[in-house]
């Protein structure tokens, strides 16, 4: 009889100390659907919320029984705030990160950290010089399905990974992000960045990538709404990331597949069905270790909000253990380099090797 697999270790690990005061900047859709519900479920201490629209901050604070800060300065000056959680449009990230670092606060910033690679590198240096931790909210690393695949890979159930495919077709809620409508770069830097970061997390650093991006569908959007990215890793593994913002509300398809020399894992990505609320992911896998049958564990929780516990919990642990978080700004530079390489590939019509971090 083949052995029975152990339960998968896919839920966020909560640190011993989890009462650091959090000051949330931004009271938009992701804060309401993701950040605040996640922190409440984990028992984290949200001191208060600031938004440039004071009424939105008041409404969100009231719904989650916390305070609304009257100004950004009030949040940054509060001795109760140890961690600044930035949940605002990307273009606002650099000045907010700079202000938080200058105030001596640890920072968790939504992805993408910034559109400007040079500025991202500067923020990483500035945080290190100030002695604070800078983390990026690449919450896909804690999505239940992807974290399960990571666990399978770590314990050897899949062998050496040889192929990965993530395939998402379906409408995006563009009405939630009007600041993106006129931007020349959209889907890769704002959405496919999740998938680029996830495959980095699970397979390591790609050697090269080839990308194609184009606009189809919603005429409000000027940048690419579809992207096809092929990646290659040292040793021969290959990946295919398909991301298409479809136009039909009832036509969503979101799947993943990771193949290795000893097993395969696959399933659906529930968050994209009725985004941002979605449904639970699915997972089925088989491994030579356990015979020929498919194993179908029931995953608990959803990407939004539950995966958003992970980035903050990891930052808390890093503060306690005096180390860099796994989702650090320095680590995230490599994801931003992949994003930039994808756009370079589109412009040049050829495969591109992503740059590597310089000494910061």
Domain of residue 250, CATH code: 3.30.360.10
- Name the stretches of the chain with pLDDT < 70: 358-360
178/286 same-domain check: yes
pLDDT digits 0-9 by tens, 120-145 = 999 999 999 999 999 999 999 999 99
Whether residue 241 sits in one domain with residue 132: no
Q: Which stretches within the chain are classed as H helix? A: 29-30, 36-42, 54-63, 72-77, 93-102, 117-130, 144-154, 187, 193-203, 309-321, 329-348
Are 156 and 298 members of one domain? Answer: yes
| Tokens matching residue 136 | 């990026």
Show the CA angle centred on residue 280, arms to residues 274 and 284, nearest 5°.
125
CATH code at position 314: 3.40.50.720
- Note whether 169 and 290 are same-domain residues: yes
Summarize pLDDT for 161-200 with one digit per residue, the tens: 999 999 999 888 888 889 899 999 999 999 999 999 999 9
Any domain includes 209: yes
Within this chain, do residues 98 and 171 fall inside the same structural domain, yes or no? Answer: no
Q: What pLDDT is attached to residue 359? A: 53
In a domain, 359, yes or no: no
80 plus 177 within the same structural domain:
no
β-bridge mates for residue 229, sequence order: 211, 241
To 5 degrees, how large is the angle CA 316–CA 317–CA 322? 105
**β partners of residue 212:** 228
Per-residue pLDDT reduced to its tens digit, 29-54: 999 999 999 999 999 999 999 999 99
**Domain range for 50:** 21-140+310-329
Place of tokens 């896919």: 10
Establish if 357 belongs to a structural domain.
no
Prediction pTM value: 0.96
Q: Looking at residue 172, what is its pLDDT?
A: 84
Let me know if residue 16 belongs to a domain.
no
Q: Do 297 and 150 have their domain in common?
A: yes
14 domain residue, yes or no: no
Backbone angles phi, psi at 280, to 5 degrees: -70, 145
Residue 2 lies in a domain: no
Judge if 160 and 214 occupy the same domain. Answer: yes
Residue 230 lies in a domain: yes
Residue 358 lies in a domain: no
> How many Å apart are CA 247 and CA 244, to the nearest integer?
9
Specify the pLDDT at position 358. Answer: 66
**224: closest CA among 244, 206, 241, 238?**
244
Confidence at residue 177, expressed as pLDDT on a 0 to 100 scale: 87
Residue 216 CA, chain-centre distance (Å), reads 25
Residues 299 and 151 in one domain: yes
How many structural domains comprise the chain? Answer: 2
Residues 154 and 113 in one domain: no
pLDDT of residue 360: 52
Q: Pairing between strand 161-170 and 238-245?
A: parallel
Rounded distance between C-alpha atoms, residue 74 and residue 155, angstroms: 47
265 and 149 housed in the same domain: yes
Q: Are residues 197 and 67 in the same domain?
A: no
């Amino acid at each position: 009889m083949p052995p029975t697999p152990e339960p998968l270790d896919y839920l966020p690990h909560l640190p011993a100390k989890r009462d650091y005061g959090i000051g949330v900047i931004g009271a938009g859709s992701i804060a309401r659907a993701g950040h605040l519900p996640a922190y409440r479920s984990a028992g984290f201490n949200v001191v208060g919320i600031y938004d440039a629209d004071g009424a939105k901050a008041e409404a969100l604070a009231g719904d989650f029984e916390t305070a609304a800060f009257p100004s950004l300065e009030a949040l940054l000056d509060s001795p109760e705030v140890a961690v600044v959680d930035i949940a605002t449009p990307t273009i606002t990230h650099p000045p907010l990160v700079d202000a938080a670092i200058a105030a001596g606060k640890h920072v968790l910033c939504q992805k993408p950290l910034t559109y400007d690679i040079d500025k991202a590198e500067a923020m990483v240096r500035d945080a290190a010089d100030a002695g604070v931790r800078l983390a990026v909210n690449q919450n896909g690393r804690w999505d239940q399905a992807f974290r399960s695949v990571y666990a399978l890979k770590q314990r050897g159930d899949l062998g050496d990974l040889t192929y990965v495919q993530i395939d998402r077709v379906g409408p995006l809620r563009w009405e939630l992000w009007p600041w993106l409508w006129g931007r020349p770069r959209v889907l890769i830097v704002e959405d496919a960045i999740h998938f680029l970061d996830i495959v980095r997390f699970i397979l390591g650093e790609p050697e090269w990538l080839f990308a194609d991006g184009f606009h189809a569908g919603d005429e409000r959007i000027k940048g690419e709404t579809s992207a096809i990215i092929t990646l290659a890793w040292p040793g021969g593994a290959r990946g295919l990331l398909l991301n298409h913002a479809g136009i039909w509300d009832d036509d969503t398809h979101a799947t993943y597949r990771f193949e290795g020399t000893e097993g395969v894992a696959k399933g659906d990505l529930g968050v994209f069905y009725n985004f941002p609320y979605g449904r639970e992911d699915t997972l089925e896998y088989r491994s030579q270790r356990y015979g020929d049958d498919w194993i179908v564990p029931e995953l608990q929780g959803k990407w939004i909000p539950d995966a958003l516990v992970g980035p903050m919990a990891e930052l808390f642990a890093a503060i306690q253990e005096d180390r860099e978080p796994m989702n650090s700004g320095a680590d995230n530079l490599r994801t931003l380099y992949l994003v930039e390489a994808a756009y370079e590939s589109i412009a040049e019509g050829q495969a591109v090797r992503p740059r590597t971090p310089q000494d910061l």
